[in-house]
Amino acid sequence: MSVVSPDLLRRFDVPGPRYTSYPTADRFVEAFTGEDYAQALAQRRTGAAALSLPLSLYVHIPFCESLCYYCACNKIITKHHDRAAPYLRYLGREIDLHVAQLGAGQAVTQLHLGGGSPTFLSDAELRELMAMLRRSFSLVPGGEYSIEIDPRTVDAARLALLAELGFNRLSFGVQDFDPDVQKAVHRVQPAAQVFELMEAARAEGFDSVNVDLIYGLPRQTPESFDRTLAQVAQLRPDRVALYAYAHLPERFKPQRRIAAAELPGGGAKIAMLSRSLSAFLSAGYVYVGMDHFALPGDALAVAKRQGRLHRNFQGYSTQPDCDLIGLGVSAIGRVGASYSQNAKTLAEYGDLLDQGRLPVVRGLALSRDDLARRAVIMALMCQGQLQFESVELAYLIEFRHHFAAELEALKALADQGLVELDDTGIQVTASGWFFVRAVAMVFDRYLQADRNRARFSKII
């Protein structure tokens, strides 16, 4: 796969959704309540999905010991670890409410602990959480069980515990190895510490270890980021997630502590991205899509080659398309033709559970048009191609009529060599794969209607 030109990267340096769902979470409405979500769960229990589709679980642990200035996650900064125990009790109540709707022992093929910092929990609390989940659900052998890790909160012994608890995938938050950048974002972690943890993780036999990086942070330069890229190539994680920093201090209060004057300019960011693409491809990584790279033998790269990629709220996945149960404060779920999100504050989350109610405060019931567009967008985002006939048969529409305006808009991308169009379908080209979000955006009815994209990160 050829590396795209800086000129093309500049041309598509625009905001856009990540399409971990369609419609995107900013379209959720408060008219969708916990009662609507309970109905979706009940329909799953009585419908065919309960017999054939496994579940995916996401558990949000909001606590962090210290504040990272770039962070846009829902988190609670505290050094008081005693706050975790009551939170686990509420998680237990939420799990029980799900079991009451779904029945016990539902098969689960994917579990992800995110945050915050899930490793804020003590060893005993991690054991308690996993025991709760195993009592209520059936974690299938061979599933994908992952956890996000703040390297500052673990050592080799904790990694051994995670392996014992059944986790087979780890994600280390690195962001940048440069000490000056780390100081600017209030996240100091020596590179040697991460290298030691990687060695320990390999000794434990984890199936896959991911490293998160961010470009566009304060005090970063293309040259300083080159050094981080070289260290990551030496570290050789199985997967790399490379994110663009979106500076939105009006939305995310922690970012107000970042000096805007220290942020790299647009040209420097484009250079970092271009050089990152070259560095990872030269190091033997496969470009999976958007901001993900993987070694050729990793399950994600294999799924890409075999056309089995899927996408959910955690990004690209090897697991088949399935319902997702979101547990914990602010967690998002998808059941059937609906999305739901829990209360974003601990107080409201706990209050709803104290009333014996599911803590859902907003969501969306998808229309027939939403479902058809979701199928189109996910086919483009995951397989890089779409056959009109498959959508026509599934949703009883005439594709070229229903999406006439979209197909007309795609011609501009075709002229730039990003897609190929014919009478039967759409094919994303090798260079177009780097800009697949721009292709998907053409089919986003909500986005095309309001053009208010400033709330999204850049698409590259």
Same domain, residue pair 4 and 62: no
243 is in an annotated binding site: no
CA–CA separation, 211 and 167 (whole Å): 16
Q: What is the span of the domain harbouring residue 315?
A: 24-324
234 is in an annotated binding site: no
Same domain, residue pair 381 and 313: no
287 is in an annotated binding site: no
175 is in an annotated binding site: yes
Structural domains counted in the chain? 2
Same domain, residue pair 278 and 372: no
What is the number of residues in the chain?
460
Query: How many other C-beta atoms can be found within 10 angstroms of the C-beta atom of residue 13?
Result: 16
Domain endpoint, select from 261, 292, 324: 324
- Residue 291's domain is classified under what CATH number? 3.80.30.20
72 is in an annotated binding site: yes
Same domain, residue pair 132 and 188: yes
Same domain, residue pair 287 and 388: no
371-390 burial code (b ≥16 CB/10 A, e <16): ebbbbbbbbbbbbbebebee
Same domain, residue pair 270 and 384: no
322 is in an annotated binding site: no
Maximum distance among all Cα pairs of the chain, rounded to whole angstroms: 62
CA–CA separation, 136 and 132 (whole Å): 6
Same domain, residue pair 306 and 380: no
Same domain, residue pair 168 and 296: yes
Alpha-carbon distances, residue 405 vs 12, 68, 247, 409, 410 (angstroms): 21, 43, 33, 6, 9
User: Which residue type sits at 25?
Assistant: A
- Reported pTM: 0.92
Q: Are 328 and 93 in contact (CB under 8 A)?
A: no
382 is in an annotated binding site: no
Same domain, residue pair 268 and 302: yes
Instruction: Kindly state whether residue 339 falls inside one of the protein's structural domains.
Output: no
Same domain, residue pair 38 and 130: yes
**What is the distance of C-alpha 274 from the center of its chain?**
22
Q: Which of 315, 342, 241, 243 is nearest to 20 (CA)?
A: 315
Query: How many other C-beta atoms can be found within 10 angstroms of the C-beta atom of residue 30?
Result: 9
409 is in an annotated binding site: no
- Tens-digit pLDDT string for the chain (460 aa): 446 777 777 787 777 888 889 999 999 999 999 999 999 999 998 875 555 688 999 999 999 999 999 998 889 999 999 999 999 999 999 999 999 999 999 999 999 999 999 999 999 999 999 999 999 999 999 899 999 999 999 999 999 999 999 999 999 999 999 999 999 999 999 999 999 999 999 999 999 999 999 999 999 999 999 999 999 999 999 999 999 898 989 988 999 999 999 999 988 998 998 899 999 999 999 999 888 999 999 999 999 999 888 888 888 888 777 899 999 999 999 999 999 999 999 999 999 999 999 999 999 999 999 999 999 999 999 999 999 999 999 999 999 999 999 999 999 999 999 999 999 999 999 888 888 889 999 999 998 776 555 556 665 5
58 is in an annotated binding site: yes
User: Which residue type sits at 334?
Assistant: R
18 is in an annotated binding site: no
Same domain, residue pair 17 and 44: no
Q: Are 109 and 143 in contact (CB under 8 A)?
A: yes
148 is in an annotated binding site: yes
Same domain, residue pair 107 and 217: yes
